[in-house]
Amino acid sequence: MKYSTLYFSFFRLSFWDSCKGLIEVHFAYFLRIRRCLDEFWILCY
């Protein structure tokens, strides 16, 4: 019983770590895209 709860907590921790990593990666892509759009608008105007 204790082994399974340990395994579950480890799985939950790794799950949250991967989710946090995905969010950080998407946020970095979003910032890069926004910077490109800002430069594009500056070029257009």
Binned average pLDDT, 10 residues per bin, the chain of 45 residues: 72 81 87 89 78
Which residue segment(s) compose the domain that 40 sits in?
1-45
Distance of CA 29 to the CA centre of its chain: 9
Question: Quick one: pLDDT at residue 34?
Answer: 92
Q: Which of 27, 22, 21 is nearest to 35 (CA)?
A: 27
**Total count of domains within the chain:** 1
> Model pTM greater than 0.85?
no
Question: Quick one: pLDDT at residue 24?
Answer: 87
Angle made by CA atoms 40, 27, 21, in degrees to the nearest 5: 150
Distance CA 25, CA 31 (A): 10
Question: Quick one: pLDDT at residue 8?
Answer: 76
Q: Which tokens in the block code for residue 29?
A: 């892509």
